[in-house]
Amino acid sequence: MIEVIDNIQSFKQVRSQFGNMNVGLVPTMGNLHLGHLSLIEKSHAENDVTIISIFINPKQFGPNEDFADYPRTLEQDIKKIKDLSFKKKIIIFTPTTKDIFPDGFDTKISVGEISHKLCGASRPGHFDGVTTVVYKLFKITQATCAYFGQKDYQQYKIIEKMIIDLELPIKIKLCPIIRDQHGLALSSRNQYLKDPAEITQALKLNETLKKIATHLNQRSSSFDFKIPSHLKPNEAWEYCEILNADNLSKEIDNNCNIVILGALRVNQTRLIDNQIIMRR
């Protein structure tokens, strides 16, 4: 029931057989871990067909980022999916860069303000790369629902905005963050952490965000929603912000949902995480 398809043309032929069935899409850059697999399992549970795209998107990496080093592990990825023994149809879609961005490709999907803060501030153009490729994957796959992880919460909100603004005929679902036994959010970039000292530093990310969440949970008024001085992030943090979870603005009132987002640098490795506080 698992089919691997490495080009758009063959994919479209196969896709046409599924007509208006429920088709789930899980966009990934490969190097699959339990976080990705949880998205795939959810899509499999909710749809007739699940498409897992594996595409390392050059447009979402900055010139000095880790595009060249990003782990490419297609054979292991396929095995991990096979080992889950899914009952329903699974398509692993692995287009090449030339297939998605042929010579002369010159279009950009760019969501406004929400793309420029947080990760967008330190990674200019990153989210334009994400939305351009996700839009194209939505069009190619004609998926009815796509699955994204809460770990990349800003990415999820940007894709949600793109769908609303462009009236794209697709639903999206936010799936919980899968963590290791110490609380570190699983990420393909965790393998860049070299030694126990770096891992201990990385754990500070979730530990601090959790402590801030506990602190905020004890406040009754939004006026008190500030990072307490003993938890103020040091210079290793790229950002740590308490924002309105619906639109990532600073406007927080007494009953909106809240998200605390952080980005921490551990030497060369950049890690992100967040905690959501649901208040309605």
User: Catalytic positions, please?
Assistant: 36
Contact letters for ligand AMP, residues 1-40 (x by CB under 6 A): ---------------------------xx-----xx-xx-
Query: Minimum distance from CB of 224 to ligand AMP (Å)?
Result: 30
- Contact between 274 and ligand AMP by CB under 6 A: the answer reads no
Residue 95 φ/ψ region, left for φ over 0, alpha for ψ in the -120 to 50 degree band, beta for the rest: beta
Pick from 249, 223, 277: nearest CA to 118: 249
- Residue 180 vs 215, nearer CB to ligand AMP: 180
- Residue 34 vs 121, nearer CB to ligand AMP: 34
Query: Minimum distance from CB of 21 to ligand AMP (Å)?
Result: 22
Q: Which residues contact 267 (CB under 8 A, 6 or more apart)?
A: 194, 198
- Contact between 178 and ligand AMP by CB under 6 A: the answer reads yes
- Contact between 149 and ligand AMP by CB under 6 A: the answer reads yes
Binding residue (CB under 6 A) for ligand AMP from 40, 114, 185, 202: 185
Q: Which stretch binds ligand AMP (CB under 6 A): 77-85, 181-189, 214-222, 255-263?
A: 181-189
Binding residue (CB under 6 A) for ligand AMP from 132, 154, 187, 269: 187
Residue 228 φ/ψ region, left for φ over 0, alpha for ψ in the -120 to 50 degree band, beta for the rest: beta
Query: Minimum distance from CB of 11 to ligand AMP (Å)?
Result: 19
What DSSP assignment string belongs to 5-70?
A: E-SHHHHHHHHGGGTTS-EEEEEE-S---HHHHHHHHHHHHH-SEEEEEE---GGGS-TTSSTTTS
- Residue 176 vs 228, nearer CB to ligand AMP: 176
Tokens representing 240? 């740590």
Query: Minimum distance from CB of 28 to ligand AMP (Å)?
Result: 4
Instruction: Name residue, tokens 């770990």.
Output: 151
Residues 63-82 that bind ligand AMP (CB under 6 A): none
Tokens representing 75? 């054979």
- Residue 38 vs 50, nearer CB to ligand AMP: 38
- Collapsing DSSP states into helix, strand and coil, what is residue 228? coil
Distances (CA, A) of 39 to 46, 71, 81, 184, 234: 11, 20, 12, 18, 33
Pick from 154, 127, 115, 174: nearest CA to 260: 154
Binding site for ligand AMP (CB under 6 A): 28-29, 35-36, 38-39, 148-149, 151-152, 175, 177-178, 185-188
